[in-house]
């Protein structure tokens, strides 16, 4: 399988989901290259930006599992590594 590099943007709307997000990200730690968390306290929102590298199926699995959690929104951008 070919490797891909991608970015995953997570917008946490309900802070009750934070523990679930952290547990899920920990289980996919082998594909996460970088992680940045930004609290937007005045809006009671939290943004997590991930840089991921791995097989598209694995990255899509992570994104899909995140997307099934209530209280957040998630977007993925994937780029094929040449």
Kindly indicate the confidence band of residue 16, based on its pLDDT and cuts at 50, 70 and 90.
Answer: very high
Domain regions of the chain by residue span:
3-80
Enter the CATH code of domain 3-80: 3.30.70.1150
pLDDT at 51: 98
pLDDT at 43: 94
Q: Could you read off the pLDDT of 66-79 as tens digits, one per residue?
A: 999 999 999 999 99
Q: Which residues contact 31 (CB under 8 A, 6 or more apart)?
A: 52, 53, 54, 58, 59, 62
HSE at residue 14, side-chain half, CA atoms within 13 A, is 8
């Amino acid at each position: 399988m070919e490797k891909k590099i991608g970015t995953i943007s997570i917008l946490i709307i309900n802070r009750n989901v934070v523990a679930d997000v952290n547990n899920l990200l920990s289980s996919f730690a082998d594909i996460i290259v970088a992680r940045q968390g930004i609290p937007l306290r005045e809006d009671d929102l939290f943004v997590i930006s991930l840089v991921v590298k791995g097989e598209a199926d694995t990255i899509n699995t992570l994104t899909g599992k995140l997307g099934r959690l209530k209280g957040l929104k998630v977007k993925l951008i994937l780029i094929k590594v040449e």
